[in-house]
Amino acid sequence: MEDISYKTNEPIKSTRLGSKAWSSIVIFGLFGQVAWVIENMYFNVFMDRTVTSNPFAVSVMVAASAVIATLTTLLAGIFSDRKGNRRHMISWGYFIWGLTVMLFSVISVENTIKIFNMNETVAIGFTVAIIVIMDCIMSAFGSFSNDAAFNAWVTDITDETNRGKAEGVLAIMPLLAVGVVFGGFDWMTQDTWRYTDNTLGSSWREGATLVSHGNWLLFFLLLGGLVTAIGIAGLFLVKDSPRLVKNEKSNYKDILYGFKPEVIKKNKNLYLAYLAMAIVGISNNTYMPYLIIYIDRTLQIANYIVAIGIVGGLAGAFSVIIGILYDKFGRRNFLIPIFISYFVGAGLMMVASPLVFKTEGTPLWIFAIAGFVLMGSHLGIGSIFTATVRDWTPKDKVGLFQGVRMFFWVLLPMVIGPMLTAIITRTSTAVGVDQYGQNIYNYSPYMFLLASGIMLLNIPVIIKLYKVLKAEKM
């Protein structure tokens, strides 16, 4: 593949996406992210609230699912190129993906004890293993349908003139999905605790006694059912690009095609963007898997739904606007300013924490400002890289390269980032014990300092990428 280059002064005519294409982008982008919100955030909360508060349980789960997701995407990408049919992969994949979410409704320590006749201590470890395995299965179907098929489909139907808008819209889907899940379903996940003064509440305090777990049964059944229903709708809504053709030359022996030295050398700018994505992803994953628990337990913001809703709404609006500006003025003009604002956001999150507000608790409005700057930067810089990667992906191997994208955007970040934070957290002092007598740890605001430190490694990559984008007027 030759790198895309705009050497002419002729204006480039923007390609319009039809209403059906936009509907598919929004619907499948949103509900795919609803499923990923459950996987990336609520499985962590489910583990923390109902099984164990050990941060390494979350870290292992995140890492294992990332490995499976990447391997699945590598294989499914080849499959989609060979078949030349993303539509059925998306639709049937979403259908089964939702069913796997629904299966989580029957997982609990109590059920493990009853079914396998184990004592409580052994049952906790066994339940962790069940959740990790089921998360891997769920991630496999999610990667098959969303990461491999849907992402390749978006690349098929867009081009260099409209990818900024498409990526801007897709970038807000994770936050919009958080809003959907938090606003409509989070109440089902709340535990009930009895405090030492005999009052009841939904958050843990030292000395509190667990009265009941949240209604996780209903939570998983409803949300899994929604994803399954969207899969059925896809059979009637999603249409493959007329430019998509079968590539029978794509072979499963080529699973490592994207990692061959000659391929990397031929597409050096693409891999430069991949490297930048990986560093950003590792930085993001030092805090994202633990964010709900951090806001709830460390910051002690009682109504964290409001907190995340405010941050998500503001950052989402920013992402859409900035995506439009990318197409109009060029991504290169925003790369460095947004990169710098990421550090500002991470610094503000350190301020909006117990490090500064030691006794009175973090005010919601201060957290909202800090969260908006960080999350807006997070989305903004991510959409630059994802759009650029789509531009530079070889057009006859779009499916094949989805697995390579997953390696850099998912596998490396989700293995390295959460593990680093888990190590920091376990070296801190326990703040109490849970209902099973295991230590509970507060996630530290220093994880945002860790995120900044990792992002510093991106400076030479960002400078090089800026020069390439400027030379190619992107």
CATH code of residue 339? 1.20.1250.20
Evaluate whether residue 286 is within a structural domain: yes
Evaluate whether residue 243 is within a structural domain: no
Evaluate whether residue 207 is within a structural domain: yes
Q: Which pLDDT does position 138 carry in this prediction?
A: 95
| Strand partners for 432 | 440
Whole-number Å distance between alpha carbons of 341 and 307: 20
Task: Give the Å distances, CA to CA, from 393 to 267, 312, 403, 436.
Answer: 8, 30, 12, 50
Contact 444/181 with Cβ under 8 angstroms? Answer: no
pLDDT, tens digit only, all 474 positions of the chain: 334 333 334 444 567 777 788 888 899 999 999 998 898 878 988 988 888 888 788 888 988 998 898 888 888 877 877 777 788 899 999 999 999 999 999 999 999 999 999 888 899 999 999 999 999 999 999 989 998 889 888 888 887 777 667 777 787 787 788 778 877 888 888 877 777 777 776 666 666 777 777 789 999 999 999 999 999 999 888 888 777 767 666 667 777 778 888 988 988 989 999 999 899 999 999 988 888 778 877 887 766 677 777 787 788 778 778 777 777 787 788 888 999 999 999 999 999 888 888 777 778 888 889 988 998 898 888 888 888 887 888 877 776 787 788 888 888 898 898 889 888 887 776 666 666 666 777 788 999 999 999 999 999 999 998 888 788 776
User: Sign of the C-alpha dihedral, residues 156, 158, 160, 165?
Assistant: negative
Ramachandran area for residue 207 (φ above 0: left; ψ -120 to 50: alpha; else beta): left
Helix pair angle (268-284, 398-406), 10° resolution:
40
Q: Which pLDDT does position 207 carry in this prediction?
A: 67
Task: Give the Å distances, CA to CA, from 251 to 155, 246, 373.
Answer: 20, 12, 44
Evaluate whether residue 383 is within a structural domain: yes
Q: Which pLDDT does position 194 carry in this prediction?
A: 76
Evaluate whether residue 270 is within a structural domain: yes
Evaluate whether residue 242 is within a structural domain: no
- Total tally of structural domains belonging to the chain: 1
Phi, psi of 22 (to 5 degrees): -65, -40
Evaluate whether residue 455 is within a structural domain: yes
In the sheet with 192-194, reading across from the earlier edge strand, the strands are 200-201, 192-194, 209-212
| Residue 124, C-beta contacts closer than 8 angstroms, at least 6 positions apart | 51, 52, 109, 436, 438
* Full domain range(s) for residue 456: 19-236+253-471
Q: Which pLDDT does position 35 carry in this prediction?
A: 93
Contact 302/363 with Cβ under 8 angstroms? Answer: no
Evaluate whether residue 397 is within a structural domain: yes
Q: Which of 168, 160, 180 is nearest to 379 (CA)?
A: 168
Q: What is the three-state SS of the chain?
A: CCCCCCCCCCCCCCCCCCHHHHHHHHHHHHHHHHHHHHHHHHHHHHHHHHCCCCHHHHHHHHHHHHHHHHHHHHHHHHHHHHHCCHHHHHHHHHHHHHHHHHHHHHCCHHHHHHHHCCCHHHHHHHHHHHHHHHHHHHHHHHHHHHHHHHHHHHHHHCCCCCHHHHHHHHHHHHHHHHHHHHHHHHHHHCCEEECCCCCEECCCCCCCEEEECCCHHHHHHHHHHHHHHHHHHHHHHCCCCCCCCCCCCCCHHHHHHHHCHHHHHHCHHHHHHHHHHHHHHHHHCCCHHHHHHHHHHHCCCCCHHHHHHHHHHHHHHHHHHHHHHHHHHCCHHHHHHHHHHHHHHHHHHHHCCCCCCCCCCCCHHHHHHHHHHHHHHHHHHHHHHHHHHHHHCCHHHHHHHHHHHHHHHHHHHHHHHHHHHHHHHHCCCCCEECCCCCEECCCCCHHHHHHHHHHHCCHHHHHHHHHHHHHCCC
Whole-number Å distance between alpha carbons of 101 and 38: 8
Provide the 10 A C-beta neighbour count for residue 144: 26
